[in-house]
Chains A and B, each alone.
Chain A
């Protein structure tokens, strides 16, 4: 494979909904010339074992990611805030699947 292929075909992120009612989940990435090809490549690469019923693709350059260097200030403060979890309520027995 020539390097030019990679240079010319941008990277895309693929999100797959596994069945109706569920969320789209990140499945992986691939290279494609445009959105249409990205959609078809996603279909061929990520749904051939019945993994999905809906596909989203977005060019990777449009994803904004948090900086790993800032992890401490971003995420650690949540560690000691257990009162934010709804686990302190007593559920009646009649309520199932919570």
Chain B
């Protein structure tokens, strides 16, 4: 770090892309964790209720590690640069006060447009089949994504990926099996998982879109090539679907925007729920 406080601060190349990338992964994890957590006390049977909340906590744990790393990155920026990051008022107020930013601030003081999560994870639980289909698409992505991210030149992300991979491997096993159980189950379960897959399919394209951040991160050896992930992901989905007597939807039109902060209306309701305590009782702790 520069020891001369008077020297003009220069943001190193790709600092903001790294922050954007870290935050996206954190936002994906916290929103998915929240969605699965909504099943707590509502699972179809006790055993699956616990399975879902275990998984929710895995996502939340990963979100924490990533938010902590993102907060470190934010705190290294000068105040003027911090103010440019997000337009959410609560976050602006915090930064203007000169206080440092922590994991909770990033999760709880940003509004929808400052969230970078993919649209898939904010889609509602609807029924068991939707929940399974959403998890399966995300878990399969995570599995191949974190397998590659372990090789990242960024040591923090690499070590987070290494820990996550163990969890994600189990998530994928669990959701894959449920896709097979529902697809190759009764007429009703087959119909329901089919509807869920067809409805959620258009949210899977965004997982693999290389936006500016992805391109810069890939060029720097920090993030994997999402095209390559897509190939593995498709092969995995195809294989599970074939066992589940399901076919890949034919629709090719895909939704985009989550990575850039354009979200469906669902995210607002999630944040209202998730952020209420911190907004109503700022800086409260358990």
Is chain B a partner of chain A in the same complex?
A: yes
Question: For the complex, what is the distance from the CA of A31 to the CA of B48, rounded to whole Å?
Answer: 10
A42 and chain B: residue at smallest CB distance: B47
State the main secondary structure of chain B at its contact with A. Answer: helix
Q: How large is the interface on B (under 10, 10 to 19, 20 to 34, 35 or more residues)?
A: 10 to 19
Query: Do the beta carbons of B47 and A33 come within 8 Å of each other?
Result: no
Quick check: A48 and B45 within 8 Å, CB to CB? no
Task: Give the distance to chain B from A50, nearest Cβ to Cβ, in Å.
Answer: 13
Q: B173: which A residues are within 8 A, CB to CB? A: 40
B51:A40 contact, CB within 8 angstroms: yes
Of chain B, the residue at the smallest CB distance from A44 is B51
Q: Tell me which residues from 165 to 203 in chain B have a Cβ below 8 Å from any Cβ of chain A.
A: 170, 173-174, 177, 181
A39 to chain B, nearest CB (A): 10
Q: Let me know if B79 is at the binding interface, CB within 8 A.
A: no
- In this complex, the interface size class of chain A, counting residues with CB under 8 Å from chain B, is 10 to 19
B48 partner residues in chain A, CB cutoff 8 A: 41
Residues of chain B within 8 A of A32, CB atoms compared: 47
Question: Which A residues are in CB contact (< 8 Å) with B47?
Answer: 30-32, 41, 44-45
B44 adjacent to chain A (CB < 8 Å) = yes
Interface residues as binary, B237-275 with A (CB distance below 8 Å gives 1, 0 otherwise):
000000000000000000000000000000000000000
* CB < 8 Å neighbour of A5 from B45, B51, B174: B45
Closest 4 pairs between A and B when the two form their complex, measured CB to CB: A41-B47, A44-B51, A44-B50, A44-B54
